[in-house]
Amino acid sequence: MDWANQIPINRQTRFGIASGSKLFTALGIMRLIEENKCQLDDPAFQYIPQKFSHYHKTITIRHLLSHTSGIPDYYDENLVDDFVDFYVKRPSYIPGFITGTWLMA
């Protein structure tokens, strides 16, 4: 049950899990590296089809995994009063994005 919105959850329900997925993301990336499907020093945007012109093209997978890319936090926690309403207005995913396809493709 999505208690905030009082609706049942289903396979399409999105959850705000914050940093809970960092470990699994890093493990998945390291597995891809073990399988020689990518390297830590590969440009990250080589695997991300969306264009982010305001981020430098030389950001690597290593930068993303070690939080040294220079990409800022998605939001400032000190400025957000209502996180439930915040996620409705500004979802933490790209609409139309199919989970797991950016780096796995």
Residues designated as active site: 19
Torsional class of 29: left (φ above 0), alpha (ψ -120 to 50), beta (otherwise): alpha
DSSP 7: B
Could you give phi then psi for residue 83, rounded to 5 degrees?
-70, -30
How far, in whole angstroms, is CA 23 from its chain's centroid?
Answer: 12
Query: Phi and psi dihedrals of 2, rounded to 5?
Result: -85, 95
